[in-house]
Amino acid sequence: GICFGMQVLNVSRGGTLIQDIVSQVQGAIEHEQGAPRDSPSHRIRLLEESRLASLAGRDGAVVNSHHHQAIETVGRDLVASAWASDGLVEALEDPRSDRFVLAVQWHPELGWERDPLSQALFSRFVSEAGQYAQTTHSQLVHARQSSG
């Protein structure tokens, strides 16, 4: 999930949101950067041994930022795997899922051409989607053969 997708994932798992960072989080850094939208605007710290840190190959990154809401409480089975310097959650993942459940607050689709982390995220997502499609297709073929 990306940006609102991360927020929806969190709420769907019983988590809550900060509705307005500026008015609710004292000392928050700027999370609604202006133009250019694809430029990195702040650093994030990555959870050691998380899927995201594994993709990044390091313990931090610099990301863009275009949101006024944020994660307040993390939803069921999710783990925060990245934080801004003000402590706001920048990524969530479900480490126990056998599926690739990873969501980020920033927009990796903006400026991906220059960002190895964005490229790694999309590459892994496409790979996981391909594996899922192949498995699902195999299961459908098997079910059809078994029923008829």
Q: Could you list the active site residues?
A: 3, 107, 109
Coil vs helix vs strand at 26:
coil
Cα–Cα separations (whole angstroms), residue 40 to 30, 33, 96, 135:
12, 9, 30, 37
- Phi/psi region, residue 55 (left: phi>0; alpha: psi -120 to 50; beta: rest), is alpha
Size of the chain in residues: 148
Nearest Cα residue to 17 out of 71, 88, 90, 81: 71
